[in-house]
């Protein structure tokens, strides 16, 4: 099975995540897109991070009607801090028949050299990169297999959605209707 791993805090999952995942699925390169809920991105502050189990349940609810999408809570059970190399090794050990790829935005390309054991990661899987605002797609500073996708460009961010919700404003049409009940919508 060809599995595209879409890592994220999904704080909250939003329609931009789902559209990118569906675009990658439509490419024909994957049999499934697996959303991997991360407990804490080591490059981001945790100040307004929703509980892990809530974020996992939101993703599970948001993708329930898409047979090509799955969700994993593996990182929530692995030792902290969560590192991609540990998660990939976990998946490879438990699913040796699968071929794994990482789906990522162009903003992450700038930080690849900071990832723990990036050489090991590049040896296990390839990368599929889509454009993010303010971050041009450029050649990575590491040796690996990279495919660049002309995915829909969406300017939706979880930070913006959290701000709307904090201000008691609606996030409808930005997040799936199926998860609106997780928030007290106006």
* Domain extent listing, the chain: 2-182
Tokens 């303010």 -> residue: 134
Q: What is the pLDDT of residue 150?
A: 87
Grade residue 106 by pLDDT with cuts at 50, 70 and 90.
Answer: confident
> What CA–CA distance (Å, rounded) separates 36 from 73?
6
Rounded-to-integer distance, Cα 149 and Cα 5, Å: 15
Do 30 and 2 touch, CB atoms closer than 8 A?
yes
Round the average pLDDT of the chain to a whole number and report it.
91
Least confident of 44-48, 121-125, 162-166: 44-48
**Tens of pLDDT, residues 2-50:** 999 999 999 999 999 999 999 999 999 999 999 999 997 655 665 678 9
Token couple for 6: 């879409």
- For 2-182, CATH gives 3.40.50.620
> CA-based angle 106:112:115, to the nearest 5?
140
Phi and psi for 105 in degrees, rounded to 5?
Answer: -80, 160
User: Residue 48 — left, alpha, or beta (φ > 0 → left; ψ -120 to 50 → alpha)?
Assistant: alpha
- Residues 89-112 as b or e (16 or more Cβ within 10 Å = b): bebeeeeeebebbbbbbbebbeeb
Cα–Cα distance measured from residue 104 to residue 147, given in angstroms and rounded to the nearest whole number: 10
Q: What is the pLDDT of residues 124-151, one digit of tens each?
A: 999 999 987 766 677 777 899 999 998 8
Question: What's the burial of 147, exposed, middle or buried (CB within 10 Å: 0-12/13-18/19+)?
Answer: exposed
């Amino acid at each position: 099975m060809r599995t595209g791993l879409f890592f994220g805090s999904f704080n909250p999952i939003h329609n931009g995540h789902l559209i990118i995942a569906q675009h990658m699925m439509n490419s024909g390169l994957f049999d499934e897109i697996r959303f991997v809920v991360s407990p804490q991105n080591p490059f981001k502050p945790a100040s307004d991070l929703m509980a892990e189990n809530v974020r996992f349940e939101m993703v599970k609810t948001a993708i329930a009607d898409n047979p090509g999408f799955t969700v994993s809570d593996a990182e929530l059970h692995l030792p902290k801090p969560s590192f991609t190399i540990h998660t990939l090794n976990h998946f490879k050990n438990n699913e040796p028949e699968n071929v794994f790829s990482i789906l990522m935005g162009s903003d992450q390309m700038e930080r690849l050299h900071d990832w723990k054991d990036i050489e090991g990661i590049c040896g296990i899987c390839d990368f599929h990169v889509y454009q993010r605002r303010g971050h041009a797609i450029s050649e990575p500073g590491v040796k690996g297999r990279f495919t660049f996708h002309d995915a829909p460009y969406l300017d939706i961010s979880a930070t913006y959605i959290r701000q709307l919700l904090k201000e008691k404003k609606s996030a409808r049409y930005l997040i799936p209707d199926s998860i609106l009940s997780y928030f007290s919508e106006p």
